[in-house]
């Protein structure tokens, strides 16, 4: 079981445990080959890319993921967040 979890990408984990994050504001499944338009991903408060960028990030590197709706994302990061944002906080090694 642990190996299965360790091999998940961040996008796999969202699909499995938080599929509502992948719905558009109209309630349709939003993930296509181009990714979800308008959705932004921020890693450690720096813009990382679109939803498809989460395919490159393994869950073992993640401390937390959080979804912000359009209003929350716009308040925090400014305009152009029509579908919201996903905040990824990575694990930090010993300082």
Would you say residue 78 lies in a domain? yes
Task: Take residue 34 and report the two structure tokens written for it.
Answer: 């181009």
pLDDT exceeds 90 at position 59: yes
What percent of the chain has pLDDT above 90?
A: 63
Would you say residue 65 lies in a domain? yes
- For residue 3, the cross-strand partners are none
pLDDT of residue 88: 97
Would you say residue 83 lies in a domain? yes
Number of other residues whose CB lies within 10 A of the CB of residue 40: 22
Would you say residue 95 lies in a domain? no
Report yes or no: 66 and 20 within 8 Å, Cβ to Cβ.
no
Task: Count up the domains in the chain and report the number.
Answer: 1
2-43 confidence digits (pLDDT tens): 456 678 999 999 999 999 998 865 555 555 544 456 689 999
Domain that holds residue 10: 2-90
d(CA 79, CA 75): 8
pLDDT of residue 80: 86
């Amino acid at each position: 079981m642990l190996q299965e979890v360790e091999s998940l990408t961040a996008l796999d984990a969202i699909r499995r445990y938080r599929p509502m994050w992948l719905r558009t504001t109209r309630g349709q499944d939003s993930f296509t080959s181009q990714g979800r338009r308008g959705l932004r991903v921020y890693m450690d408060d720096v813009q990382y890319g679109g939803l498809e960028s989460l395919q490159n990030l393994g869950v073992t590197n993640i401390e937390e993921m959080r979804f912000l709706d359009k209003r929350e994302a716009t308040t925090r990061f400014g305009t152009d967040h029509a579908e919201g944002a996903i905040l990824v906080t990575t694990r930090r090694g010993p300082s």
